[in-house]
Amino acid sequence: MSVLLFGVSHRSAPVVVLEQLSIDESDQVKIIDRVLASPLVTEAMVLSTCNRVEVYAVVDAFHGGLSVIGQVLAEHSGMSMGELTKYAYVRYSEAAVEHLFAVASGLDSAVIGEQQVLGQVRRAYAVAESNRTVGRVLHELAQRALSVGKRVHSETAIDAAGASVVSVALGMAERKLGSLAGTTAVVIGAGAMGALSAVHLTRAGVGHIQVLNRSLSQLYWGGASGGVAGRCASCAGRRPP
């Protein structure tokens, strides 16, 4: 048995493909259960962020396990298997381990050194662990990846490269527009990155924040940040107040 990784990320696919593949936390268990329905797969964990969708699995056979995971993700995204494989990458055994270490350390991020991904790896493991879809192999892999990620951030100067994608984007906005004090901003998405964006915008002095999401159920923090919540569909043909 070896670890198999099937993934798609910002390095291999455009944003529209990542959006099609995106797996909400509520759907992660369903995806994992479908993968584990195959006798070829004994453990599985899903890491889904705005920049990547990766399935880590312990498989008895490389090609068989690859086919199972690819088919489940293709059906989830609505893409054909052939279309999906154009954007996918595969790592096996030691290469899969090394890849997760790089991801947890922020070395494979859109902004090298960003710290949010370490928490995302931790959460991915927690979801899988709470649903008992990880065993000895993925447990050990996840714990070591988290340990490596912590050491990289504490023992090297990688954090100087950039704290997060959000901080880099905000810096670009300030260089182009000048001071953001008193301005209006729109945050699209109510996930962790959306909440982090609202925090950074508030600190920058933005006067009004409008938070838009596909559903209103996740927008509980919009009001807490001083913003106004709305459905993402309301973006069309509309300007923020």
Q: Does 235 qualify as catalytic in the annotation?
A: no
Closest CA to 228 of 238, 54, 65: 238
DSSP H/E element including 84: helix 81-85
Q: Which residues pair with 213 in a beta bridge?
A: 231
Report the alpha-carbon distance of residue 92 to residue 3 in Å, rounded: 6
Rounded to whole angstroms, the Cα distance separating 221 from 154 reads: 30
User: Which residues on neighbouring strands pair with residue 41, listed in sequence order?
Assistant: 59
Which among 222, 189, 192 has a CA at the least distance from the CA of 208? 222
Find the catalytic residue in 23, 40, 45, 50. 50
Q: Which residues are part of the catalytic machinery?
A: 50
